[in-house]
Amino acid sequence: MSNHGSFSGNPKTEWTVDDNGEDRNMVLLEDFSYIDPDGKKWNAPKGSVVNGASIPRPLWSTVGSPYTDDYRRASVVHDVACNSQTIPRKDADVMFYHACLAGGCSYSQANLLYAGVRVGAWSIARCTSRAFTKESMLFQIPPTPSSDEKSLQNTFQTIASELKGLSDEASIDVLDAVINKHVKF
């Protein structure tokens, strides 16, 4: 096990289509898990529905999309943890950071991904517009970002710029200090 934890293997999934015709979700065909640096096991049981990293759509061009790169396995356990009624979102996000590193992400990428999910948690509570719906993203030609999207993108760009100046092994507390300067939970 690396100093950032380890995965039980690779998740086995199947794409699904929900009642609304949405096809971004996947169902786990087998149990999957991650053991964090403190030895806590984060389970993603067979039958869990996941939809990739919880990165707001307006940040996909900056951070990455839900199913790309070395954070895919981290996103599986993060999705299940975020859907739990008993796990605080902040705990799930910290686990995601370590799982990203265990999955092969660089520190700078894990920092950005952590900021992305923290800003995502903040934006869900803050933004009430349709700015983040599939329809608003797909059917605007050319895409015209809403004021909420522009604000979110600008906030994230500011955070990302500050994160670039940190050392590779900056603590979660240091990352949170940068994020919390710009978003209030």
pLDDT tens track, the chain, 185 positions: 469 999 999 999 999 887 877 777 899 999 999 999 999 999 999 999 998 765 666 667 776 666 777 889 999 999 999 999 899 999 999 999 999 999 999 999 999 889 988 887 777 666 544 444 444 444 444 456 677 778 888 888 999 999 999 998 899 999 999 999 998 87
Q: Which pLDDT belongs to residue 142? A: 45
Sheet containing 41-44, strands listed edge to edge, beginning at the edge strand earlier in sequence: 6-7, 32-35, 41-44
Q: Which pLDDT belongs to residue 141? A: 44
Identify the residue whose tokens are 């994160």. Answer: 163
Q: Which pLDDT belongs to residue 139? A: 42
Q: Which pLDDT belongs to residue 164? A: 92
Task: Please report, for the chain, how many H helices and E strands are present, in that order.
Answer: 6, 6
